[in-house]
Amino acid sequence: MTAATTLKEAQAISSWIVDVRRQLHRIPELKYEEVKTSALVQATLKELGISFQTGLAETGVVATVGPKEGPCVALRADMDALPIEEAVASDFRSTHAGRMHACGHDCHTAMLLGAAKLLKQRESTLAGPVKLIFQPAEEGGAGAERMCQAGVLDSPRVQRIFGLHVWSLIPTGTIGGKAGTFLAAAGELDIVIRGKGGHAAMPHLARDPVTTAAQVITALQTIISRELDPLSAGVISITMVHGGAAYNVIPEEVRLHGTIRSLTLTGLKALQARVTEVATNVAAAQRCAAEVSFPGNDYPPTDNDPQAWELSQQIGRDLLGATSVKTLEPVMGGEDFAYYVQNGVPGCFVALGIRNESLGSVHSVHTPQFLVDESALPIGTALHVEFAIRSQAELAAKT
């Protein structure tokens, strides 16, 4: 079958894919809490007659389509949402207060379920098993790492893996990416600045952690602007500041939280070391103390396998036209898809365009206004199907 046929089949079930996506959009759940989401995935797979395993990394699901023998290719979707109050009015807006699918994971899951439907219809023609990985906790929980630890890449061993992410920076009907490092290494940052509290009218009797925090925040930016090679990439973002409870009281401590990003794990570690030195010494100069820690996981950079990216480009052009593939510059966002690649499986993470000014699909992910052009969803389903089938053919030709 041709790519055009695959796209036509995906468009024929477009309303089904969109309906699944809207069901998921109504029930956004945070990392490792994706109970309803996982249940919906499982129910859909049962309806399609596809076998699956559950309880992986708590709420993860892995389904398999195709014969037991032959080249094994994996397709991955993430399922978790974000702690954001949705600002988009729709008939299918979030029913969970303070939670929203603001990064498109509902779309990713629906597109992969659409691919499951089409691959099941073609099961007798598949050259090997296709694993469909529905993963929890991409948003800060390193769910991909736990899925790897649960053995999703083994029995049979995955030989190539693909992931899609909706992308508001490129128009619907296009895809984007690059060979090599596409997304950054990333980690979280906590700084506790402790001083001596006191009356706001008598600051000389206190050691003010608020003014110290302000100086620390400013000083951290000079690591990027004055220490990092201008041709290198790095980001230090303080995104939360917590301290104080009264207008006239200097607090005992202020807490800062944020992220650090680099295009390499070595660069990330170097930035972490300098953040510790700068924060500690700036605080000491103000007669305060700073405690610096890096909680959670240090996400590795997402590196696209050159051969897998070349195949992705061919598929994109065959599906969408000669000018549909965009070579993108590296992005400083992190993605735990990187863990699958880090575990020795060549992979490719591809951006799926959803930008459509006429619909208002222009806002960035991780914002309350995030809106998806749903006409991109069958494209994503078709891409997944072609990723699997053509990778299997390519891998089989090498054996």
Q: What is the pLDDT of residue 2?
A: 85
238: which 2 tokens?
């303080």
From first CA to last CA, the distance across the chain in angstroms is 22
Q: What angle do CA 279, 281, 286 make, to 5 degrees?
A: 95
At which residue do the structure tokens 């796209």 appear?
Answer: 7
Domain borders along the chain are: 3-182+301-398, 185-293
**Helices 35-48 & 105-121, crossing angle to 10 degrees?**
20
3-182+301-398 and 185-293 share one fold: no
Identity (one letter) of the amino acid at 55?
G
19: which 2 tokens?
């309906």
Which are the contacts of 6, defined by CB distance < 8 A and separation ≥ 6? Answer: 118, 319, 382, 385, 386, 389
At which residue do the structure tokens 């005992």 appear?
Answer: 252
Binned average pLDDT, 10 residues per bin, the chain of 399 residues: 91 98 98 98 98 97 97 98 96 97 98 98 97 97 97 97 98 98 97 98 97 98 94 95 98 98 96 98 98 95 98 97 96 96 97 97 97 98 98 90
Residue 379 Cα to chain centre, angstroms: 19
Q: What is the pLDDT of residue 139?
A: 95
CATH 3.40.50.150 for the 185-293 domain, yes or no: no
At which residue do the structure tokens 């050159």 appear?
Answer: 306
Please, are residues 23 and 109 in contact by the beta-carbon 8 Å criterion? no
Cα–Cα distance, 60 to 13 (Å, whole number): 25
Region for residue 235 given its phi and psi (left: phi exceeds 0; alpha: psi -120 to 50; beta: otherwise): beta
Q: In the CATH scheme, what is the code of domain 3-182+301-398?
A: 3.40.630.10
